[in-house]
């Protein structure tokens, strides 16, 4: 799912973020262009990794 920022107004310059008038606008645009994983914070990713490793360990245990 892609967030549209056509109507988003920058808190810094009060212009539409899509126009990229200031540094804050461009940073916001870049953040939203990073894709589906941009919304995930690092802690969430670490938790996901832990779950994955645990699942693999469980599978390996059952296979043995």
Q: How far is the CB of 7 from Zn ion (least distance, A)?
A: 14
Q: Which is nearer to Zn ion, 6 or 62 (CB)?
A: 6
Q: What is the DSSP string of 1-64?
A: -----SS-B-TTT-SBGGG--SHHHHHHHHHHHT-TTTTS-HHHHHHHHHHHHHHHHHHHHHH-
CA angle 9-11-13, nearest 5°?
Answer: 85
Q: How far is the CB of 35 from Zn ion (least distance, A)?
A: 22
Of 3-32, binders to Zn ion (CB under 5 A) are: 10, 12-13, 22, 24-25
Q: Which is nearer to Zn ion, 6 or 37 (CB)?
A: 6
Binding site residues, Zn ion, CB under 5 A: 10, 12-13, 22, 24-25
């Amino acid at each position: 799912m892609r967030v549209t920022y056509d109507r988003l107004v920058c808190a810094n310059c009060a212009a539409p973020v899509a126009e990229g008038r200031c540094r804050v606008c461009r940073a916001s645009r870049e953040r939203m262009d990073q894709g589906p994983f941009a919304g995930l914070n690092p802690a969430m990713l670490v938790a996901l990794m832990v779950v994955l490793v645990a699942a693999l360990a469980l599978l390996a245990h059952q296979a043995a």
